Structures are given as C-alpha cells and as structure tokens.
Amino acid sequence: MSSDRLDFSPLDPKRDPERFERMVRKVTSGVQSASAPAPVLLDFWRWGRLGLVAAALLALGAWLPNLTIGQLPATDTVALVSSWAQSGEVPANVDLIQTLGALDEQ
C-alpha cells in the first residue's frame, strides 16, 4: 500500500524546516498572546473585583440593622405581643386587630 503512495513533497509545508519552524512559532506565540490578558485589563479586573466586594460590604453594613429591627414586628407576631406585655405599652386598636388577625392565620 505504501509503495502506491503519491509524492506530495512539493506541497509539504515541512519541506523547508526553517519556514515550518517559523510557522510553528507564529501559531504558538499567537495562542499565547491571545490567552494572556492585557495588563490594563488585568488591573481593571482586579480593582473592579475589589470595588465590588467593598460595595457589597457597605451595602450589607447599611441594611443589616434595618433588616433585623424591621423584620421582628412584621414576621414574629408572638414576639411583638410579648414585647407589648413586657414594656406595658398599650397598642393602638389598629395594631392590635392586625396582630390578632395574624395570630389567627397562624
């Protein structure tokens, strides 16, 4: 079978080893340069990520107290009633009806 092989050496890119090596280097360096991010982009990405973390922390710091204080009366009606009882506070009629209604639903 191999004796039937046609001679394609005139078309062979490896016929000129130096030129073939240049082609190999060109492709390899092209792959490398494309996969390495540009320094400016890399800096932007790093600082952007830090900025994102800082913004998330600030938002958390600002909202956490609101969340914990605001959620208690709305979600935990039992805690609200007990807080009235402990403090001796007389709730408004509207608050009382809403709270008792919520207790009924539970």
Partner 1 sequence: MADKLDRVLIARAKRGDVRSLEALVRRYLRPAFAVALALLRNVADAEDLAQEALMVALQRLEQCRDPDRFAPWLLTSVRHRAINQLHQRSFRVGVIDGERRGENIEASAARIDLRERLTAALEELTEVQREVVLLHDLEGWTHPEIADAIEISEVASRQTLFVARQRLRRALADESQEEARHE
Q: Is 45 in the site for partner 1 (CB under 8 A)?
A: no
Q: Is 11 in the site for partner 1 (CB under 8 A)?
A: yes
Specify the residue, 7 or 105, whose C-beta has the smaller distance to partner 1: 7
Q: Is 49 in the site for partner 1 (CB under 8 A)?
A: no
For residue 27, the minimal CB distance to partner 1 (Å) is 5
Q: Is 42 in the site for partner 1 (CB under 8 A)?
A: no
Residue keyed to tokens 């046609």: 6
The set of residues, in sequence order, having a beta carbon less than 8 Å from that of 72 and lying 6+ positions away, is: 79, 80
Q: Is 38 in the site for partner 1 (CB under 8 A)?
A: no
For residue 42, the minimal CB distance to partner 1 (Å) is 15
Binding site for partner 1 (CB under 8 A): 4-8, 10-16, 19-20, 23-24, 26-28, 30-32, 34-35
